[in-house]
């Protein structure tokens, strides 16, 4: 990755209110290519809201979110195009229940490829069958990577939580995103399944994927995080390397938080 | 009992010899056609209305569409079906200069009427789908419309299939009034049979039995479908 360290997401004075409840009270942060940003903080402090504002799942009340230099809070931009390059992994997986595992992974890539295909000249165009076949192979390769190729034709309801989350990760990976946002990806899992999901995430991190991860897994934060953000009461109260945040925390609220979770 | 036998013979004569069975078959066919096509149109309209109703309403267009749908549902739920049938056939059809048969008009009116009811069922179905399904779709860059049609609505339809079966039964039963606009249904057929010698007891008894059998068959189909769906859920 040659453009590592280049600005990818720039958040400028982000505010978000639900009615009278101001949840984010001015967040400024720049996320560069290759960063592994880990977000920690007490429950209800606005971590999910922050993450969901990054891909406009929640519309910011004010402030800017520049993705590849484009302000995606602007209602005029086609948010779908940006989300295609901005994966998201949820606490509750959100796999499509009416689709097989393979279809879950292929669905959006096929739709995007078909749309791209229409822009080509007639001679260059592929048939929709060729596109599907190509995306199916890519999806199968991803499934192989997480050791679930035998589940290709199963439905989400037939998978364990850990398997579902691994599929959800490769579903977002199938779009070739520039960044993946994780919102407590292991919080809904039985303890024995946490490891397999974290392993996939570590592998992604090693492969150079830019990641923003909200998590309570402090071990993961230490090991994988390149930067840690501590959010409380809708603000970033402290930011630093894992060594700084865990070894030498400055903010009293952070120290208090760490004493409870470590 | 001799009396009953005479009635039965009169019925058989009218049914077999005077071609009554042909009218019954035609009536049965019309009943099924109106109910099946009406339900299909109803599902189509119902899905559209329900989708408009659950759409986010920041912009003007969804809000206007929503108002139109509200008026539509209020009209079709708030007036008797017979009135809709009569107005549709004797008022709207000539006013618009449409050349549609009585049967065709019935199909359209029943479909539009059913759409109002299906929309309510459908909205419940859509709301019963986990909001995470929409978020999952949006997170991989699919539009609201694509996610709705490919992910949410199929699951909503599955959730409400048994209820749609009930709507189908309601439609079957409602077809017994299409003779108001001159369409032939079971009622017309059995009235014709009875009129042969003014013996209505057996004809209407048989008519009732036929309706019961149809409804029982549909109920059985719904049960089988439910069981299959449950198996695929697990
Ligand atoms: N869709 C919503 N509508 C209203 N309030 C919300 C919504 N989402 C989150 N909130 C509120 O915002 C606050 C922060 O929530 P959240 O970002 O989920 O916190 P965290 O992820 O850090 O636990 C909470 O008080 C929560 O009740
Ligand atoms: Mg949260």
ipTM: 0.93
What domains can you pick out in chain B, each with its CATH number?
2-233 (1.10.3720.10)
The β-bridge partners of A211 are: A36, A180
The candidate with the shortest Cα–Cα distance to A194, out of A176, A226, A220, is A220
On average, the pLDDT of chain B sits at 91
- Angle, in degrees to the nearest 10, between helices B201-233 and B2-12: 70
pLDDT score recorded for residue A172 = 97
Min Cα separation A76/chain B (Å)? 13
Q: What is the pLDDT of residues A161-189, one digit of tens each?
A: 999 999 999 999 999 999 999 999 999 99
Helix H segments across chain A? Answer: 47-54, 79-83, 101-119, 128-145, 161-173, 191-206, 218-224, 242, 252-261
The Cα A146–Cα A150 span in angstroms is 11
The β-bridge partners of A168 are: none
Contact B165, B191 (CB under 8 A): no
Work out the percent of chain B whose per-residue pLDDT is above 90.
66
Quickly tell me which residue has 């995080």 as its tokens.
A225
Is the pLDDT at B217 greater than 90? The verdict is: yes
Ligand 1 pocket mutation, candidates A23, A41, A215, A230, criterion most atoms within 8 A of CB: A23
pLDDT band (50, 70, 90) for residue B16: confident
Chain A CB contacts of B143 under 8 Å are 80
Is the pLDDT at B14 greater than 90? The verdict is: no
DSSP structure class, residue A146: T
- Angle, in degrees to the nearest 10, between helices B20-54 and B60-78: 150
Query: What are φ and ψ of residue A148, in 5° steps?
Result: -120, 25
pLDDT band (50, 70, 90) for residue B233: low
Name the B residues in 122-141 with CB < 8 Å from any A CB. Answer: 130, 132-133, 135-141
Contact B35, B175 (CB under 8 A): yes
Q: What is the pLDDT of residues B139-150, one digit of tens each?
A: 999 999 999 999
Residues 6+ apart with CB under 8 A from A15: A22, A24, A25, A26, A60, A61, A62, A63
Ligand 1 pocket mutation, candidates A15, A17, A18, criterion most atoms within 8 A of CB: A18
Written as six digits, the tokens of A214 are: 């909200």
pLDDT score recorded for residue B87 = 95
Ligand 1 pocket mutation, candidates A15, A22, A49, criterion most atoms within 8 A of CB: A49
Is the pLDDT at B204 greater than 80? The verdict is: yes
pLDDT score recorded for residue A1 = 47
Instruction: Give the residue-averaged pLDDT of B12-17.
Output: 84
Min Cα separation A172/chain B (Å)? 6
* Contact between chains at A96 and B133 (C-beta distance less than 8 A): yes
Contact A203, A172 (CB under 8 A): no
pLDDT band (50, 70, 90) for residue A72: very high
The Cα A161–Cα A90 span in angstroms is 12
The model carries a pTM of 0.86
Distance A51 CA to ligand 2 centre (A): 9
pLDDT score recorded for residue A206 = 96
pLDDT band (50, 70, 90) for residue B181: very high
pLDDT score recorded for residue B55 = 87
Residues 6+ apart with CB under 8 A from A102: A136, A139, A140, A143, A152, A153
pLDDT band (50, 70, 90) for residue B158: confident
Query: What are φ and ψ of residue A261, in 5° steps?
Result: -100, -20
The candidate with the shortest Cα–Cα distance to A98, out of B219, B129, B42, is B129
On average, the pLDDT of chain A sits at 95
Mark the residues whose beta carbon lies below 5 A from ion ligand 2. Answer: A 48
Return the ligand 1 atom nearest residue A183 CA: 21
Is the pLDDT at A107 greater than 70? The verdict is: yes
Written as six digits, the tokens of A12 are: 């400028």
Distance A191 CA to ligand 1 centre (A): 25
Min Cα separation A177/chain B (Å)? 9
Query: Residue A210: in which H helix or E strand, if any?
Result: strand A210-214
Written as six digits, the tokens of A152 are: 């290709």
Min Cα separation B223/chain A (Å)? 21
Adjacency order of strands within the sheet including A227-232 = A86-89, A179-183, A210-214, A36-40, A227-232, A235-240
pLDDT score recorded for residue B6 = 84
Distance A60 CA to ligand 1 centre (A): 13
Contact A2, A34 (CB under 8 A): no
Q: What is the pLDDT of residues A191-227, one digit of tens each?
A: 999 999 999 999 999 999 999 999 999 999 999 999 9
* Contact between chains at B139 and A84 (C-beta distance less than 8 A): no
Q: C-alpha distances in angstroms, A200 versus A91, A195, B57, B187?
A: 15, 9, 39, 67
Interface contact B94, partner A, CB < 8 A: no
Q: Is A234 in the pocket of ligand 1 (CB under 6 A)?
A: no
Nearest by CB: B135 against A80, A90, A158: A90
Distance B201 CA to ligand 1 centre (A): 68
Distance A47 CA to ligand 2 centre (A): 6
């Amino acid at each position: 990755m040659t453009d590592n360290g280049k600005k990818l997401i720039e958040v400028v004075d982000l505010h978000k209110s639900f009615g009278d409840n101001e949840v984010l009270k001015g967040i400024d942060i720049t996320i560069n290519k290759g960063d592994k940003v880990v977000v920690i903080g007490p429950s209800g402090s606005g971590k999910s809201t922050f993450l969901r504002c990054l891909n406009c799942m929640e519309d910011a009340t004010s402030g800017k979110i520049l993705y590849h230099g484009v302000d995606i809070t602007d209602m005029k931009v086609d948010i779908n195009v940006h989300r295609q390059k901005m994966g998201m992994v949820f606490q509750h997986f959100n796999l499509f229940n009416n689709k097989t595992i393979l279809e879950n992974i292929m669905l959006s890539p096929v739709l995007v490829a078909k749309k791209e295909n229409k822009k080509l000249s007639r001679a260059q165009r592929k048939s929709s069958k060729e596109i599907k076949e190509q995306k199916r192979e890519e999806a199968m390769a991803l499934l192989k990577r997480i050791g679930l190729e035998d589940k290709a034709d199963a439905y989400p309801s037939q998978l364990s939580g850990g398997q579902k989350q691994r599929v959800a990760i490769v579903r977002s990976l199938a779009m070739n995103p520039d960044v993946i946002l994780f919102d407590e990806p292991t919080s809904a899992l039985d303890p024995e399944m946490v490891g397999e999901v974290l392993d996939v995430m570590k592998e992604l991190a090693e492969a150079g994927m830019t990641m923003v991860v909200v998590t309570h897994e402090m071990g993961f934060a230490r090991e994988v995080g390149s930067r840690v953000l501590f959010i409380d009461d809708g603000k970033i109260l402290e930011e630093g390397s894992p060594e700084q945040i865990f070894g030498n925390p400055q903010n009293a609220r952070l120290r208090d938080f760490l004493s409870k979770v470590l | 009992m001799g009396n009953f036998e005479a009635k039965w013979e009169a019925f058989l004569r009218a049914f077999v010899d005077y071609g009554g069975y042909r009218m019954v078959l035609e009536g049965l066919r019309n009943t099924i056609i109106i109910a099946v096509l009406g339900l299909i149109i109803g599902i189509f309209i119902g899905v559209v209305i329900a989708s408009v109703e659950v759409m986010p309403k920041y912009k003007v267009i969804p809000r206007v569409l929503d108002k139109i749908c509200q008026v539509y549902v209020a009209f079709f739920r708030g007036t008797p079906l017979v009135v809709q049938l009569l107005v549709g056939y004797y008022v709207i059809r000539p006013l618009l200069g449409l050349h549609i048969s009585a049967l065709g008009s019935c199909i359209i009116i029943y479909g539009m009427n059913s759409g109002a009811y299906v929309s309510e069922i459908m909205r419940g179905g859509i709301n019963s789908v986990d909001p995470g399904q929409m978020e999952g779709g949006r997170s991989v860059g699919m539009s609201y419309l694509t996610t709705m049609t490919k992910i949410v609505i199929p699951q909503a339809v599955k959730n409400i299939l048994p209820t749609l079966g009930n709507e189908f039964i309601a439609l079957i039963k409602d077809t017994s009034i299409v003779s108001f606009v001159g369409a032939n249904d079971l009622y017309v057929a059995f009235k014709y049979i009875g009129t042969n010698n003014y013996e209505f007891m057996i004809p209407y008894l048989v008519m009732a039995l036929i309706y019961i059998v149809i409804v029982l068959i549909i109920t059985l189909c719904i049960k089988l479908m439910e069981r299959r769906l449950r198996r695929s859920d697990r």
